[in-house]
A and B are shown apart, each in its own frame.
Chain A
Amino acid sequence: MTQTVLDVRNLRVEFPTRHGTLTAVDDISLTIERGEILGVVGESGAGKSMTGMAILGLLEPPGRIAAGEIHLSGDRIDTLTEPHMQRVRGRRIGAIFQDPLTSLNPLFRVGDQLVETIHLHTELGKSAARQRAMDLMREVGIPAVEERIDNYPHQFSGGMRQRIVIALALCAEPELIIADEPTTALDVSIQAQITALLKRLCRDRGTAVMLVTHDMGVIAETADRVAVMYAGRLAELGAVEDVVRRPQHPYTEGLMGSIPSLHSDEGELRMIPGSMPRLGSIPAGCAFNPRCAHAGPRCRREIPRTHGTGAACWLTLEGETA
């Protein structure tokens, strides 16, 4: 039986500015089941990190959730007060960010940081917490744990630091991990080690993972389902093989075509003309319509939406250009 860990319904994130309100996340709905990895992809400014931050309750003011609901294993969390939300973060939702140094305090030994986090979120005593910290470090693949536990963050390499951040995120055995570009700062060989680790943890512990990245290759090898975002909206959501091999949305199709192949040199890369609109100047109707070869009158008038599997495109929603 599947068990829904994260349920985001019609989420809308707004930033009020002097020049009007910007909508960074526009009517997004998605779910993640226990033991599932949902990939969230998109280009910079598509709203993928903002969605993760909204779920974590870490939106920087004046950014705010303007509409929608976020449920974690049945409990609504978007309406919690900050002290309550602080307890949910860490205990029930773990976070992994791109730069491990922003998650680690440079002045404290990594072991102490792990012990403190375990102490904060569980009932364990000092020595039991230290034992647990060592177990976690072993689980994420850090060699010579007995010596390394008393090292400072700067004494670790980038890949090892990211492993420690993952261990930190796991301290309280969270139901959900939000990993925002966890491998972007790392070299390919280390990147493969970290994504394999995330996959193993997800499988062994049944943790739900939201993997936010711009790298379709990482998604193809790691995620079960994938959500493609464009200009704050969901363009397409589906099983990863479907989205990679048979993309429905013209944007997803263009995105796949623009990635150079490892197997052949196709001469000219396919490219999408233009660039993603800035948040203040999103066109009416489908946000992708000015760059889309198939856009019809309806695409310029009405916003296509998808809630659940499928593409937010009038072509597939209506079967023709409306």
Chain B
Amino acid sequence: MTEAILEVDALERRFDVSAPWLNRVIERKPRRTLRAVDGVDFDIARGQTLALVGESGCGKSTIAKLVTGLHAPSGGKIRFNGDPEKMQMIFQDPFASLNPRWRVGRIVAEPLRTLNPQAPEAQVTARVEELLDTVGLSPADAVKYPHEFSGGQRQRISIARALAGEPEFLVCDEPTSALDVSVQAQVLNLMKRLQREMGLTYLFISHDLSVVRHMADVIAVMYLGRIVEIQPTADLFATPLHPYTRMLLDTIPDLEAPKRDRAPMGGEVPSPVSPPSGCSFHPRCPLAFDRCTRERPEREPRVHDRRVACFAAAENTDV
């Protein structure tokens, strides 16, 4: 096994979503906490891509913010075996994450100047031009403003800015979900090429299983703040173990084998403020039995990269 660049252990993050103090006093409302991330652990090997997938509210973006230090964990540990300055982030919305008043050259140069304040101007300019070229933009684009670019080009600017810090590790939170498919293909191909050439490690967050299949080496499926299953990509698609993963794979529209007469699964993701008892998936699970309503399936001891938190799946397979 290669060395892990990131080790996440029993990570927790709770948010206080209580009513304001006065309301609590007058209306006798209790404090309420939302467990956005509820005991999550995974490793990412250097040079690999681990993807977190799940529906909205499952906690995947909170993990991105915990890993990059934008939130502090409420419990558990995150160990980054590298220089913290070598971690960068790419956000979903290339419209909100670039300063509209700065020229592209200044946006990309900012991390360079932060890392090396004494760098001569000519060196910074040369490096900016090189970076723009790397992501498929023209060096002449440095004098333009973000609004002059399309969504896909803006995401390239975000990537150039992230690369300026010479990162080893990139946290990508839904980097292509705001883009059209043909542009998404360009950005995904670029990210894969950069990974190959620079040996980058990605934590890739997405709700789109087909994108994740294309990008990831290992996939962790999340449901209500917990990882329900983690497997290498090909294995997850070949033998999904958790009923929730199977449901997800069944419900995504499939271009090559369209399921035109599907009977969709009922139910919705419950509120994370008051999750169901036991296994939080049990109200929607076709395999649930009485133990699932009482006990929470714990994560299996670490055998390979293949773990599932499900009583039914654990009985049927020897993981």
Contact = CB atoms under 8 A, between A and B. Distances in A.
Contact of A217 (B152, B192, B207, B253): B253
B213 A193 contact: no
Given A196-B263, A214-B180, A275 B209 contact: no
Contacts of A275: 150, 152-153, 182-183
Contact of A187 (B56, B153, B234): B56
Interface stretch (B4-12, B99-107, B265-273): B265-273
A307 to B, nearest CB: 25
A149 interface: no
Interface of B: 55-56, 150-153, 180-186, 188-189, 192, 207, 209-211, 213-214, 233-234, 237, 247-249, 251-260, 262-269
B275 to A, nearest CB: 15
B186 to A, nearest CB: 5
Contacts of A192: 251, 253, 262, 264-265
Nearest to A183: B253
Interface residues of A, number: 42
A106 B264 CA distance: 29
Nearest to B188: A269
A189 B188 contact: no
Contacts of B211: 260
A208 B233 CA distance: 40
B55 A44 contact: no
Given A221-B262, A268-B189, A269-B188, A159 B180 contact: no
Contacts of A258: 181-182, 184-185
Contacts, number: 126
Contacts of B150: 275
A144 to B, nearest CB: 14
A254 B182 contact: yes
Contacts of A214: 180-181
Nearest to B267: A189
Contact of B256 (A189, A261, A268, A270): A261
A220 interface: yes
Contacts of B259: 221
A45 to B, nearest CB: 9
A157 interface: yes
Contact of A271 (B151, B182, B268): B182
Nearest to A42: B180
B188 A260 contact: yes
A10 B253 CA distance: 32
Contact of A193 (B209, B264, B269): B264
A188 B182 contact: no
Contacts of A257: 185
Nearest to A187: B55
B265 A261 contact: no
B185 A188 contact: no
B262 A43 contact: no
Interface of A: 43-44, 157, 159-160, 187-193, 195-196, 214-218, 220-222, 244, 254-263, 265-266, 268-272, 275-276
Contacts of A255: 181-182
A220 B257 CA distance: 9
A215 B253 contact: yes
Contacts of B267: 189
Contacts of A157: 268
10 contacts: A159-B268, A187-B56, A216-B181, A257-B185, A260-B185, A260-B188, A261-B214, A262-B256, A266-B214, A269-B188
Contacts of A271: 182, 185-186, 189
A262 B185 contact: no
Contact of A189 (B152, B185, B265): B265
Contact of A262 (B182, B188, B207, B213): B213
B213 A260 contact: yes
Nearest to A190: B268
A213 to B, nearest CB: 10
Contacts of B234: 265
A196 B210 contact: no
B247 A269 contact: no
Given A244-B255, A258-B185, A269 B214 contact: yes
A164 to B, nearest CB: 14
B269 A188 contact: no
Contacts of B255: 216-217, 220, 244, 256, 259, 261-262
Given A221-B254, A259-B255, A262-B256, A188 B207 contact: yes
A244 B263 CA distance: 22
B181 A188 contact: no
Nearest to B244: A189
Of A159, A221, A263, which is in contact with the most chain B CB atoms at under 10 Å from its CB?
Answer: A221
Given A218-B253, A275-B153, 7 more contacts: A44-B180, A189-B248, A192-B265, A220-B258, A255-B182, A260-B210, A272-B182
Contacts of A272: 182, 185
Nearest to A185: B56
Q: Which 3 A-B pairs have the closest CB atoms?
A: A217-B253, A258-B185, A43-B180
Contacts of B152: 275
A258 B187 CA distance: 11
A242 B268 CA distance: 34
Of B210, B247, B256, which is in contact with the most chain A CB atoms at under 10 Å from its CB?
Answer: B256
A43 to B, nearest CB: 4
B276 to A, nearest CB: 15
Given A268-B189, A269-B189, A272-B182, A217 B56 contact: no
A140 B59 CA distance: 30
Contacts of B185: 257-260, 269-272
B253 A220 contact: yes
